[in-house]
Amino acid sequence: MDNTGKVLVEKLTRSRIFKDYEQAFRSATGLPFALTPPETWGLPLSGDANESPFCHAMADTSKTCAACLEIQGKLSEKGSETADPVTMKCFAGFCDTAVPVRLGESLVGFLRTGQVLTEPPTEEEFDRTAQQLIRWGIDFDVKKLHDAYFASKVISNEQYGAMIRLLKVFADHLSMISNQVLVREENTENPMITRAKDYIERNQSEDISLAAVARAVNTSTFYFCKMFKKATGLTFTEYLGRVRVEKAKQLLLNPHVRVSEVAFEVGFQSLSQFNRVFKRITGQSPTDYRERLPKAGAAAAVRR
């Protein structure tokens, strides 16, 4: 898997807003919860504090683990093609959901939850599940599995749908603030990277180059590229673009400043370049972004 996706997800999961929402969602719903990169090997909800006891038992067997992995793969595949939540049921009737999180035109990852039944478990359904396990040649303790199955969380379709809508709202919000999270220093990092970020921040309105930043932190261009990508998950050019776009979003709050003025103020060499980079990162043009700003909020921000 591309290391960039992993780094971006790691930064987002360390953010305060993500941690606050994660705690609130877990407490309110009792469901497992995770943010994963677009391509994930393994079971993303395995080992979660809210993991279903039945799913936990199934994860320990290779056949059922393979069936769960297949479901997760299909969720990722379908989720990468849409902006809407995708829900699927496993062989035992448990629902799993993936909600895409996008950063502009790129897929960052998926908010995942599930391991829940939408109808009360029945003996008939358990027998059907047990028969499938027998066909797969799996040896299991019937009583323990029966107890785990009937101890599973049951949420009505309506309630589960409401919980998924909450995840969708958070995914949309996370998409909006992702760029800010990615360019903001959240944790202790290599001092060289911190100095480089400071230099970029101070000079982002100028026509700064990779070589200039490398010189500013007293290292070679090759070494700086390698370390910067490893630390941020972004190339120098990608990071600089995000810093400039974040500054542009602040300037666009002022309705009296033309978009072209904003473009050159933050360091873009042309309006077309500004429009292209801004849309790639935010998913909308600078003009559309400004038009969708809450008028009261924009006016208040300008006054400040």
Question: Which residue carries 């995708």 as its tokens?
Answer: 86
148, pLDDT greater than 90: yes
294, pLDDT greater than 90: no
Question: Which pTM value belongs to this model?
Answer: 0.68
Convert the pLDDT of each residue in 194-243 to its tens digit: 899 999 989 999 989 999 999 999 999 999 999 998 888 889 999 999 99
Contact indicator for 103, 83 with CB cutoff of 8 Å:
no
Convert the pLDDT of each residue in 263-291 to its tens digit: 999 999 899 999 999 998 888 899 999 98
Least confident of 11-20, 117-126, 161-170: 11-20
40, pLDDT greater than 80: no
65, pLDDT greater than 90: no
| Confidence band, pLDDT 50/70/90 cuts, at residue 178 | confident
92, pLDDT greater than 80: yes
CATH numbers and ranges of domains, the chain = 3-182 (no CATH), 189-303 (1.10.10.60)
| Confidence band, pLDDT 50/70/90 cuts, at residue 106 | confident
110, pLDDT greater than 80: yes
Helices (H), the chain: 3-14, 16-29, 53-58, 62-79, 123-135, 142-150, 157-183, 191-203, 210-216, 221-232, 236-251, 259-265, 271-282, 286-291, 295-303
Mean pLDDT of 27-46: 86
Mean pLDDT of 36-40: 81
Nearest CA-CA partner of 98 in 149, 151, 47, 168: 168
182, pLDDT greater than 70: no
| Confidence band, pLDDT 50/70/90 cuts, at residue 298 | very low
User: Average pLDDT, whole number, for the chain?
Assistant: 86
* Distance (Å) of CA 222 to CA 87, 116, 174, 215, 228: 44, 49, 33, 11, 10
pLDDT of residue 46: 85
How wide is the angle at C-alpha 122 spanned by C-alphas 120 and 123, nearest 5°? 160
186, pLDDT greater than 50: no
Burial of 19 (0-12, 13-18, 19+ CB in 10 A): exposed
pLDDT of residue 15: 83
